[in-house]
Amino acid sequence: MIKPKGLKKGYKVAVVSLSSGVLGESFAAHQLEIGKKRLKALGLIPIIMPNALKGVDSLEKHPEWRAEDLKEAFMDPSIKGIICAIGGDDTYRLLPYLMEDEEFIHAVHNFPKIFTGFSDTTINHLMFHRLGMESFYGPNFLSDIAELAEELLPYTKRSLEGYFEDHELTEIPSTEWWYEERTDFSSKAIGTERKRHFEENGIEVLSGKRKTSGRLLGGCLESLCDSLTGARYEDEPEIIEKYKIFPWKEEWNEKILFLETSEERPIPEDLRSMLMTLKDYGVFSRVNGVLIGKPQNNIYYEEYKSIYKEVINDETLPVLYNLPFGHACPRCLLPYGIEVTIDTEKKSVKFNESYFA
C-alpha cells in the first residue's frame, strides 16, 4: 500500500462532501464554524472545497461536482489531508468520474494524502484500496470535529492527533465511556454535553482464543452489502463491479475484517441477512480474524452479538466485539491495509507497522 505522510501543524486539510451535501445547508452553518475553529485549534488550516457547501439537492444532482473536489484536493500539493464532511448513501456515483480520470489516479499514486471518514465513505475507501493507497476509517468533520460540546471528546481528540506524525498510534485505544448519538444538532445544542455511559462490557471475545495477524479491510456493513446486492440503488452493483471496487474473493485471504452497523440501527433479522451476504461471498471463511464495532447507542447489543456468533460460526476464528469504531461514539481510526495483531487474551489490537510513509 502507498502510505501518506503524517500531518504537521501548519498543514492544510481539505473538507469534502462526497456523499450527502448537508454541510452546505443553512441549518449546519454553526457546525461548519465550530469545525473550522477546531481544526485551527489543532494547528491545521481548513480548506472547504468549492462544491462542499452547495447543499443536499445540488450535490445529489451533480455527483461530478463532488468528484471534482476530491480530485482538486489531490492535485493541490499544499493540501496534506482530506476529511469527509459526513457520510450518506450514494458516493458510488463518483466512481465513473474518478476511476476513468488518469490525472486523478496519477495524483493518488504519486501524492498520497491522509483521507478520513466512515459510513458511506466505505466505498471511497475501497476505491483507494483498489488504487493501492492507504486511507483511514475514522472521524469525519460533522460527526466528530464539529461536536457541539464545549470541547472535543477526549477520545476523539486522541484519534485526530493520531493523524499527526509525532502522535502516531500503535494500537486501538480502549475507552472508558461511550456516548449516545445526539438527537438535536441545532444551534440551541451548542455547549451541551452528550449523554455518556460507562463502558461496562469492554471489548468482548466471541471466538478464537489465540493471536492472529492480517491486514485491515472492511467498513460499514450496509455499504458493503449494498454494493453487492443493490438493495438501495439498483445500478450500484454494476458500477462497483465495473471498477472492481469490492475486493475479489481471494483478496479477503488472511485479512482482518472490520465491520460495523450504521445509524439506521438495523433490526436483528436484517443484520443476519447482511452477514449472510458476506458469508455467501466467502469472506468469513477466508479472513484471519474479525473486528466488530459497537452498535450505535448500544442498541440490540446482545441480539447482535448472538447473530455474529451464529453466522460466523467458527470457534477457531478470533472475533472481537464492541470496539470503538464506526457509527458508535467515540471513534478510533483504522488504517486500511495495515497489518495488525489481534490478541484475544489481552483483548487488544496492535498495529504491526507504521501507517505513515
Last residue within a domain, chosen from 161, 186, 207: 161
Instruction: Determine the Cα–Cα distance for residues 114 and 112; give it in Å rounded to an integer.
Output: 7
Q: Are residues 280 and 222 in the same domain?
A: yes
% of the chain with per-residue pLDDT over 90: 100
CATH of the domain at 242: 3.50.30.60
Look up cell 471498477; give the residue: 243
Residue 220: which of 264, 280, 181 has the closest Cα?
264
102 shares its domain with 249: no
Task: Mark whether 152 and 211 lie in a shared domain.
Answer: no
pLDDT, one tens digit per residue, over 308-357 is 999 999 999 999 999 999 999 999 999 999 999 999 999 999 999 999 99
Cα torsion 242, 91, 41, 75 to 10°: value is 50
Rounded Cα gap, residues 174 and 349, in angstroms:
10
Phi and psi angles of residue 343, each rounded to the nearest 5 degrees, phi first? -120, 105
Residue 124's domain spans which residues? 12-161
Co-location of 124 and 200 in the same domain: no
**Residue 149 burial (CB < 10 Å; 0-12/13-18/19+)?**
middle
Note the pLDDT of residue 313: 97
pLDDT of 196 reads 98
Same domain? For 156 and 186 the reply is no
Last residue of a domain, one of 101, 127, 161: 161
Span 141-198, pLDDT tens digits: 999 999 999 999 999 999 999 999 999 999 999 999 999 999 999 999 999 999 999 9
Q: Are residues 241 and 346 in the same domain?
A: yes
Q: Which amino acid is at 240?
A: I
Class of residue 356 by CB neighbours under 10 A (exposed 0-12, middle 13-18, buried 19+): middle
What are 11-26's pLDDT values in tens digits?
A: 999 999 999 999 999 9
In angstroms, the CA 267 to CA 264 distance is 9
DSSP letter string over 195-254?
PEEE--S-SEEEE--SEEEEEEEEEEHHHHHHHHH-SS-TTHHHHHHHTT-SPPGGGGTT
Residues 100 and 241 in one domain: no
**Which of the residues are catalytic?**
119, 260, 327
How many structural domains does the chain have?
A: 2
Task: Bin 274: left if φ > 0, else alpha if -120 < ψ < 50, else beta.
Answer: alpha
Q: What is the pLDDT of residue 100?
A: 99
Based on the domain organization, do 149 and 197 belong to the same domain?
no
Give bridge partners of residue 259 from the DSSP assignment: 219, 292
3-state secondary structure of 49: coil
Domain shared by 137 and 239, yes or no: no
